[in-house]
């Protein structure tokens, strides 16, 4: 008579099934290092998770703008640190720094020998890392040749998505980290819970596809990141109480930049702040050309000799009217360009005066602001026309003083800015609390007398 029940498995069968369960690894797909993504995707991923995760992932985008996902195959922590290391070198854009890193890492061969890793054991793996460093240095263009990080970042991204290249780099970093721990036993043995250092390295550091632990992160930071000037931040996204992720920081002595990883139980990704992903704008360094401002004299009149009629220039702070400046090129219009980035042709003299600190008239230049040297304003000297009665055209009315023989002859006078006239203590200044604008009256300015023509009142 049969009962329909199978006999229970034997001890040997149970042990075999347990072994299969322990050795089972789910098939992991996806790129080894993913493209840059907004950190809000993590918030969406945990939208229906535990409330603790919801609060922490909602706060995450306020500090970190982007992240890269790494394949969770047991090497994600090692791969994240290695990729971020190369990316930081690319972002720094210093060829000399990259070459120095090759020399520095090669100098660790004495530590590798002391830990039992002779050069013939690890040279093939090390060459993968050195070769990528050399390619990175070659790909970095000069700082004034556009954005130095674009092409080299693409090179690093392609290398770390190549199975053979990234496997060699990770293997060498595991060997280097193991050698560092073995040669600094006193620094790490207190954190191994009584386990022998050599046993620990053989179990948790050296085996491929074994995820990095706290001791391994500390040792890798000491041997790879800290001497390069890279700090390390690791926000922990776990179930500990709080509205934000817990932060673990490893600081370099003289930090150049900071590498950031996001830890979720059993997995590491790469985090970025906005300043890490913004592409800097590199513009060639150039010296701003001086801007010369010409007056608007009538093209038929010599305004060097008639400069006394240019009192309106006194209102411009820092103005000095200087003689011996050759004429501007007038072109078809008969007037010089009011603003030019080229100096007057055959310029003979130029004086520079600082602008006073009192308020000046509003600038005619639109933003962005320019660093414009302050120069004196020259009055162009034009040939005196034979006929004083020739019809005049231009933006300014003619002055009676142009017809006075005593004014039209003699050496040109030198004018300088009147300090008081441009001061807010002057009641005619618009910043004076008792501001009273001056009013021009034709009757007060000129008087007419019989048989004597017009003369200026008060003279």
Q: Does 206 share its domain with 228?
A: yes
Q: Does 297 share its domain with 340?
A: yes
State the DSSP H helix or E strand holding residue 321, giving kind and residue range, or none if neither: strand 320-321
For residues 206 and 215, the answer to whether their CB atoms sit within 8 Å is: no
Distance CA 122, CA 105 (A): 13
Nearest-CA neighbor of 140 among 84, 102, 90? 90
In this prediction, residue 411 carries a pLDDT of 55
Of 16 and 300, which is predicted with more confidence? 16
With respect to residue 144, please indicate whether it lies within any of the assigned structural domains. Answer: yes
With respect to residue 377, please indicate whether it lies within any of the assigned structural domains. Answer: yes
Residue 124: partners with Cβ closer than 8 Å, 6 or more residues away: 168
Over residues 52-91, the pLDDT tens digits come to 999 999 999 999 999 999 999 999 999 999 999 999 999 9
Question: Which of 242, 277, 312 lies at the terminal end of a domain, its last residue?
Answer: 277
Indicate which CATH number applies to the domain containing 147.
1.20.1300.20
In this prediction, residue 24 carries a pLDDT of 56
Distance CA 352, CA 251 (A): 51
How many domains are contained in the chain?
2
For residues 310 and 302, the answer to whether their CB atoms sit within 8 Å is: no
In this prediction, residue 278 carries a pLDDT of 72
Q: Does 195 share its domain with 154?
A: yes
| Mean pLDDT for all residues in the chain | 74
For residues 42 and 10, the answer to whether their CB atoms sit within 8 Å is: no
Sign for the CA dihedral angle at 221, 222, 225, 229 comes to positive
3-state secondary structure 389-423: CCCCCCCCCCCHHHHCHHHHCCCCCCEECCCCCCC
For residues 437 and 428, the answer to whether their CB atoms sit within 8 Å is: yes
146 exposed, middle or buried (CB, 10 Å; 0-12, 13-18, 19+)? middle
Question: Which of 243, 277, 311 lies at the terminal end of a domain, its last residue?
Answer: 277
Q: Does 314 share its domain with 230?
A: no
For residues 71 and 30, the answer to whether their CB atoms sit within 8 Å is: yes
Q: Does 115 share its domain with 220?
A: yes
Q: How many helices (H) and strands (E) does the chain have?
A: 15, 12
Token pair of 49, please?
A: 């998770």
In this prediction, residue 300 carries a pLDDT of 42
Token pair of 97, please?
A: 């720094």
With respect to residue 212, please indicate whether it lies within any of the assigned structural domains. Answer: yes
Residue 164: partners with Cβ closer than 8 Å, 6 or more residues away: 128
In this prediction, residue 9 carries a pLDDT of 79
- Which DSSP string do the residues of 59-116 spell out, in sequence order? HGGGT--EEE-B--SS-HHHHHHHHHHHHHHHHHT-HHHHHHHHHHHHTTHHHHHHTT
Which phi and psi (to 5°) does residue 355 adopt?
Answer: -80, 135
- pLDDT (mean) for 169-192: 96
Q: Does 168 share its domain with 194?
A: yes
Question: What b/e readout covers 132-142, taking b as 16+ CB neighbours within 10 angstroms?
Answer: bbebbbebbbe
Q: Does 160 share its domain with 184?
A: yes
CA angle 291, 294, 299 (to 5 degrees): 150
Q: Does 248 share its domain with 138?
A: yes
In this prediction, residue 433 carries a pLDDT of 73
For residues 148 and 20, the answer to whether their CB atoms sit within 8 Å is: no
The answer for 74, left when phi > 0, alpha when psi is -120 to 50, beta otherwise, is left
Token pair of 450, please?
A: 């019989």
Question: Which of 400, 419, 438 lies at the terminal end of a domain, its last residue?
Answer: 419
Tell how strand 257-264 and strand 267-272 pair up. Answer: antiparallel
Of 170 and 278, which is predicted with more confidence? 170
With respect to residue 424, please indicate whether it lies within any of the assigned structural domains. Answer: no
Distance CA 411, CA 295 (A): 20
Of 437 and 370, which is predicted with more confidence? 437
With respect to residue 451, please indicate whether it lies within any of the assigned structural domains. Answer: no
With respect to residue 226, please indicate whether it lies within any of the assigned structural domains. Answer: yes
Distance CA 364, CA 175 (A): 66
Q: Does 205 share its domain with 99?
A: yes
Q: Does 228 share its domain with 84?
A: yes
Residue in this structure with the two tokens 């093939």, named with its chain if needed: 124
Q: Does 310 share its domain with 267?
A: no
Over residues 143-166, the pLDDT tens digits come to 766 555 668 889 999 999 999 999
In this prediction, residue 170 carries a pLDDT of 97
Range of the domain at 329: 289-357+372-419
Candidate ranges 132-141, 275-284, 365-374, 442-451; pick with highest mean pLDDT? 132-141
Chain Cα centroid distance, residue 266: 35
In this prediction, residue 328 carries a pLDDT of 39
- pLDDT (mean) for 173-192: 96
Over residues 349-368, the pLDDT tens digits come to 444 444 444 444 444 444 44
In this prediction, residue 87 carries a pLDDT of 95
With respect to residue 345, please indicate whether it lies within any of the assigned structural domains. Answer: yes
Of 301 and 276, which is predicted with more confidence? 276
Q: Does 294 share its domain with 238?
A: no
State the DSSP H helix or E strand holding residue 236, giving kind and residue range, or none if neither: strand 230-236
With respect to residue 448, please indicate whether it lies within any of the assigned structural domains. Answer: no
């Amino acid at each position: 008579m049969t009962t329909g029940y199978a006999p229970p498995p034997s001890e040997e069968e149970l042990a075999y099934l347990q072994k299969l369960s322990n050795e089972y690894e789910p098939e992991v797909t996806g790129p080894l290092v993913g493209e840059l993504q907004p950190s809000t995707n993590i918030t969406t991923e945990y939208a229906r998770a535990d409330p603790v995760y919801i609060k922490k992932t909602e706060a995450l985008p306020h500090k970190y703008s982007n992240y890269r996902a790494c394949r969770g195959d047991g090497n994600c922590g090692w791969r994240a640190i290695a990729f971020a290391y190369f990316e930081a070198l690319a972002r720094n854009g210093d060829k000399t720094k990259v070459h120095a890193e090759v020399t520095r890492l090669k100098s660790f061969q004495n530590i590798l020998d002391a830990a039992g890793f002779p050069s013939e054991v690890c040279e093939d793996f090390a060459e993968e890392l050195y070769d990528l460093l050399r390619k990175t240095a070659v790909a970095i263009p000069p700082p004034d040749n556009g954005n130095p990080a674009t092409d080299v970042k693409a090179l690093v991204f392609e290398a770390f998505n190549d199975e053979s290249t990234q496997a060699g780099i990770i293997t060498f970093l595991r060997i280097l980290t193991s050698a560092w721990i073995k040669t600094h036993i006193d620094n790490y043995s207190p954190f191994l819970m009584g386990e022998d250092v050599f046993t620990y390295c053989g179990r948790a550091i050296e085996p491929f596809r074994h995820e990095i632990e706290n001791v391994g992160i500390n040792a890798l930071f000491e041997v790879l990141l800290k001497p390069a000037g890279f700090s390390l931040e690791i926000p922990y996204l776990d179930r500990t109480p709080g509205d934000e992720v817990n932060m673990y920081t490893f600081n370099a002595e003289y930090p150049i930049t900071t590498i950031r990883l996001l830890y979720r139980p059993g997995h590491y990704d790469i985090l970025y702040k906005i300043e890490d992903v913004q592409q800097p704008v590199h513009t060639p360094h150039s010296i701003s050309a001086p801007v010369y401002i010409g007056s608007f004299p009538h093209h038929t009149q010599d305004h060097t000799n008639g400069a006394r009629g240019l009192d309106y220039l006194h209102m411009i702070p820092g103005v000095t009217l200087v003689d011996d400046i050759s004429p501007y090129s007038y072109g078809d219009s008969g007037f010089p360009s009011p603003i030019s980035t080229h100096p007057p042709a055959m310029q003979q003299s130029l004086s520079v005066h600082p602008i006073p600190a009192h308020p000046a008239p509003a600038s005619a230049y639109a933003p962005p602001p320019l660093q414009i040297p302050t120069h004196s304003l020259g009055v162009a000297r034009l040939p005196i026309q034979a006929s004083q009665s020739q019809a005049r055209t231009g933006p300014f009315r003619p002055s009676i003083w142009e017809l006075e023989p005593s004014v039209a002859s003699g050496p040109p006078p030198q004018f300088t800015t009147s300090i008081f006239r441009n001061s807010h203590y002057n009641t005619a200044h618009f910043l004076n609390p008792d501001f009273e604008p001056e009013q021009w009256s034709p009757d007060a300015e000129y008087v007419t007398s019989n048989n004597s023509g017009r003369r200026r009142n008060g003279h």
